[in-house]
């Protein structure tokens, strides 16, 4: 649509009528109207009328009911079919209930009898039709926006539900995995008696599998505490290298088992920050473990730290399977997992990276994942505020 009754410019009206006398009448009536001036244009037949009505150049359209062998309703029907949303007022020669009903059913905004027209009635009807159509269009836009919002929310709920189902299935699998080795180790202990050569490997296996169960349960408890707002940080002044060394110590067995080549680039000068020693170590342990799990044997894992502008950025890069762009967008969301069919990964619950983001943000920092795509490796960058050395 063009202008509106609230504008300071003119209101453009198109009249489609095969009678030039009617055009002269309508023009005179609108010339007498007060307020914003009307500019009226006239088209005398159906074919020209279709083009004019659908042009979108007018604020309102007046259609004569009779247009030669066709009617204004025919023109209105075709215009609406072509997507025209300009308000349309039908002008009728006689009062006829059936015609009146047909006019409104075909999508006209109003209809007026020519014999009863005066400048006030015509002006008010045009202005009201324009305002009403604008209101309807604004309402339709709000409905569309709300519908799109609900569609997005519904899609998010469906995604969350699917991830929850996958999480439950994965959790059952991850909890079940250690049970068979534990049961076997217990049977070995039962049968071996006190033979040290048999007891020591079985005890080591039990320790590894119970440790795995403890890590799974700890992660689940952390998620629960975060969800309930019960997780608190035990803050102290820390040296970044101490935190990273603690993370390396925890991740070293998995890195060695995965045959990863490790490169560490940490400044000799101490970098201080205030944080929770356990949670910060957990952040970098999770990222190092991910690098080990999602890389082929003899891959390269690089851990580096750089201080700049009152912040320290720790980067963990690997040469592993990489991440597609659609996965990168959601990698820190809860229960998000990389497709396991792509790699011989050791699995996980899909909550490790979500915990990483949560713990980083609780320390006033940020974390970002980058990858050039599948097979191109991945880099995680954790940025945290640090303190002066003095």
| pLDDT, tens only, 164-185 | 766 666 666 566 667 777 777 7
Q: Are strands 235-239 and 261-265 parallel, antiparallel or unpaired?
A: unpaired
pLDDT digits (tens, 9 = 90+) for 224-258: 777 777 788 899 999 999 999 999 998 888 898 88
For 47-70, the DSSP string reads HHHHHHHTTS--SEEEEESEETTE
DSSP state of 82: T
CATH classification for the domain delimited by 235-385, as one of 3.30.565.10, 3.30.930.10, 3.30.365.10, 3.40.50.20: 3.30.565.10
Between 8 and 162, residue with greater pLDDT: 162
State the Cα–Cα distance between residues 7 and 314, nearest whole angstrom. 58
Q: Is the pLDDT at 6 greater than 60, yes or no?
A: no
Q: Is the pLDDT at 217 greater than 50, yes or no?
A: yes
pLDDT at 316: 96
Query: How crowded is residue 170: how many other Cβ atoms within 10 Å of its Cβ?
Result: 19
Q: How confident is the model at residue 348 (pLDDT cuts 50, 70, 90)?
A: low
What whole-number percentage of the chain has pLDDT above 90? 39
Say which CATH architecture domain 11-143 belongs to.
3-Layer(aba) Sandwich (3.40)
State the Cα–Cα distance between residues 136 and 132, nearest whole angstrom. 6
Q: How confident is the model at residue 7 (pLDDT cuts 50, 70, 90)?
A: very low
Q: Is the pLDDT at 162 greater than 80, yes or no?
A: no
Terminal C-alpha separation, the chain: 67
Give me the residue spans of the domains in the chain. Answer: 11-143, 177-227, 235-385
pLDDT at 161: 75
Specify the DSSP element, H or E, that contains 274.
Answer: strand 272-276
Q: Is the pLDDT at 112 greater than 70, yes or no?
A: yes
Q: Summarize the confidence of residues 267-285 as an average pLDDT.
A: 93
pTM: 0.54
The answer for residues whose C-beta is within 8 angstroms of residue 131's C-beta and 6 or more apart is 4, 5
Between 344 and 43, residue with greater pLDDT: 43
pLDDT at 368: 95
State the Cα–Cα distance between residues 187 and 123, nearest whole angstrom. 96
Q: Summarize the confidence of residues 353-363 as an average pLDDT.
A: 92
Q: How confident is the model at residue 337 (pLDDT cuts 50, 70, 90)?
A: low
pLDDT at 166: 63
pLDDT at 254: 87
Q: In whole numbers, what is the pLDDT of the chain averaged over residues?
A: 84
The answer for residues whose C-beta is within 8 angstroms of residue 138's C-beta and 6 or more apart is none
- Quote the tokens at residue 341: 């069919």
pLDDT digits (tens, 9 = 90+) for 304-326: 999 999 999 999 999 999 988 88
């Amino acid at each position: 649509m063009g202008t509106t009754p609230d504008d300071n410019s003119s209101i453009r009206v198109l009249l489609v009528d095969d009678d030039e006398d009617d055009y002269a009448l309508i023009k005179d009536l609108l010339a007498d109207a007060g307020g914003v001036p009307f500019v009226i244009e006239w088209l005398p037949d159906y074919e020209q009328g279709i083009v004019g009505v659908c042009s979108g150049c007018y604020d309102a359209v007046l259609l004569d009911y009779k247009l030669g062998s066709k009617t204004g309703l025919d023109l209105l029907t075709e215009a609406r079919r072509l997507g025209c949303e300009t308000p349309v007022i039908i002008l009728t020669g006689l009062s006829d209930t059936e015609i009146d009903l047909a006019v409104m059913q075909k999508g006209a905004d109003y209809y007026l009898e020519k014999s009863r027209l005066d400048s006030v009635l015509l002006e008010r009807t045009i202005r009201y039709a324009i305002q009403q159509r604008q209101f309807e269009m604004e309402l339709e836009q709000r409905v569309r926006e709300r519908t799109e919002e609900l569609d997005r929310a519904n899609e998010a709920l469906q995604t969350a539900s699917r991830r929850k189902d996958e999480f439950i299935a994965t959790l059952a699998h991850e909890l079940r995995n250690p049970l068979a080795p534990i049961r076997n180790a217990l049977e070995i202990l039962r049968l071996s008696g006190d033979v040290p050569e048999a007891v020591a490997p079985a005890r080591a296996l039990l320790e590894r599998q119970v440790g795995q169960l403890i890590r799974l349960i700890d992660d689940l408890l952390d998620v629960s505490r975060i969800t309930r707002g019960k997780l608190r940080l035990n803050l102290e002044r820390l040296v970044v290298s101490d935190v990273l060394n603690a993370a390396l110590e925890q991740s070293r067995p998995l890195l060695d088992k995965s045959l990863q080549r490790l490169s560490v680039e940490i400044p000799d000068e101490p970098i201080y920050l205030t944080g929770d020693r356990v949670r910060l170590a957990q952040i970098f342990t999770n990222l190092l473990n991910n690098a080990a799990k999602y890389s082929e044997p003899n891959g390269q894992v690089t851990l580096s730290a750089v201080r700049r502008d009152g912040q320290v950025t720790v980067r963990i890069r690997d040469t592993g399977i990489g991440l597609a762009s659609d996965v990168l967008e959601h990698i820190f969301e809860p229960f998000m997992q990389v497709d396991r069919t792509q790699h011989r990964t050791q699995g996980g619950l899909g909550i490790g990276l979500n915990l990483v983001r949560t713990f980083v943000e609780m320390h006033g920092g940020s974390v970002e994942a980058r990858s050039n795509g599948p097979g191109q490796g991945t880099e995680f960058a954790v940025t945290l505020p640090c303190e002066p050395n003095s």
